[in-house]
């Protein structure tokens, strides 16, 4: 008798609904899917038993289980399309201080590869480890969605690819980064990033690519704004990098980022390239730093093009202790000690600069 619960009225002999047809299968499908998801009888569908699923799924099941075949979906293609849309919705996990999922860490644990975590405004005191490919996206004003780490980095990257957008990331831990990227490709977009101790954003390792776009990176109390080292690579673009205790951007040990269209100001040094760091710095404004705009030493060898480097307290470009580089088509005027200080023996290629 149990199978009767899955049979539509027209198959039970109710002639007013006509003869069984293709739409009869939709009734059986709705009843069967409800039973599989709830382990309860599909005689009457209860939305509370599907509270963890998108409400659109309950609507679809009710549509399929309409007693009158004329009110059921017209074609299987319609059902498939609606299921595809529902599956997309199901891949979004909402985090809210007052919701069912109240921490980002819990959402990461619950999520599957490829899911999206939507973070509502609130202060989340937690240390995040991203260990699967995800998107973590703030849903509101950046200043209102705050992640504060107390014991470790705000974000530790431990997967191949992930995206974080629209969060304020504040490292309060001792000897920690706000964002640590030792592997994979992590994209940071439209974030506000600061650190009470070490670097705001660390990018390191030959298999690491950090993509940092439209972020404010500021006020590292003991380190640099962005630190690219140990053969790390990446793209840093359209960022405002300021107020850091050491350099706005520090590149060393084979680090090789591309830095474009950034403002780098009010740090101790604007960009510091040393210990065989390289990189390409293009179309940036580097100004108001306590020492030099660009400082290069110990085998550092960047390419710097089309930048405005001004109003720094020392030189626009300071190259010493075996540093090298290419500086082309830059505006190096209006620095307290002048455009250049290049130590004898350092190989610097210069052309098209305004001094």
Q: Do residue 84 and residue 108 come from a single domain?
A: no
Q: Do residue 31 and residue 135 come from a single domain?
A: no
The segments of the chain whose pLDDT lies below 70 read 1-2, 52, 88-90
Q: Do residue 177 and residue 37 come from a single domain?
A: no
DSSP string, 229-292: ETT-EEEEES-EEE--SSEEEEE-TT-EEEEES-EEESSSEEEEE-TT---EEES-EEE--SS-
Q: Do residue 166 and residue 243 come from a single domain?
A: yes
- Under DSSP, the state recorded for 49 is G
pLDDT at 90: 57
Q: Do residue 131 and residue 177 come from a single domain?
A: yes
Whole-angstrom distance, CA of residue 178 vs CA of residue 157:
11
pLDDT digits (tens, 9 = 90+) for 52-85: 677 888 899 999 999 999 999 999 999 998 888 8
pLDDT at 2: 41
pLDDT at 248: 98
CATH at residue 78? 1.10.510.10
- Domain tally, the chain: 2
Query: 90: helix, coil or strand?
Result: helix
Domain range enclosing 80:
2-89
Q: Do residue 147 and residue 271 come from a single domain?
A: yes
Q: Which of 60, 89, 118 is a domain's end point?
A: 89
């Amino acid at each position: 008798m149990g199978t009767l619960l899955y049979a539509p009225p027209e198959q039970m002999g109710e002639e007013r609904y006509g003869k069984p047809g293709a739409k009869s299968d939709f009734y059986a499908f709705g009843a069967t899917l409800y039973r599989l998801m709830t382990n309860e009888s599909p005689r009457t569908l209860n939305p509370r038993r599907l509270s963890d699923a998108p409400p659109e799924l309950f609507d679809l099941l009710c549509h399929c289980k309409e007693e009158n075949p004329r009110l059921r979906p017209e074609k299987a293609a319609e059902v498939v399309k609606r299921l595809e849309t529902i599956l997309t919705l199901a891949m979004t996990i909402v985090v809210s201080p007052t919701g069912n999922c109240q921490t980002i860490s819990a959402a990461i644990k619950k999520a599957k590869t490829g899911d999206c975590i939507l973070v509502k405004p609130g202060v989340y005191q937690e240390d995040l480890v991203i260990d699967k490919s995800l998107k973590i996206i703030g849903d509101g004003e950046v200043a209102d969605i705050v992640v504060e780490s107390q014991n470790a980095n705000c974000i530790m990257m431990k997967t191949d690819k992930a995206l974080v957008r629209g969060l304020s990331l504040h490292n309060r831990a001792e000897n920690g980064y706000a964002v640590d990227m030792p592997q994979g490709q992590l994209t940071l977009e439209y974030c506000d990033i600061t650190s009470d101790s070490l670097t705001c954003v660390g990018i390191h390792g030959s298999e690491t690519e950090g993509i940092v776009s439209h972020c404010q990176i500021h006020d590292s109390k003991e380190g640099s704004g962005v630190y690219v080292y140990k053969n790390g690579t990446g793209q840093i673009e359209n960022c405002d990098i300021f107020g850091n205790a050491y350099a706005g951007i520090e590149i060393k040990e084979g680090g090789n980022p591309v830095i474009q269209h950034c403002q780098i100001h009010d740090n101790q040094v604007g960009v510091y390239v040393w210990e065989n760091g390289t990189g390409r710095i293009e179309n940036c404004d580097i100004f108001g730093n306590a020492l030099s705009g660009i400082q290069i030493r110990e085998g550092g060898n960047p390419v710097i093009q089309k930048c405005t480097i001004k109003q720094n307290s020392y030189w626009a470009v300071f190259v010493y202790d075996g540093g090298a580089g290419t500086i082309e088509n830059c505006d190096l005027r209006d620095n307290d000690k002048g455009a250049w200080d290049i130590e004898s023996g350092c190989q610097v290629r210069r052309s098209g600069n305004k001094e």
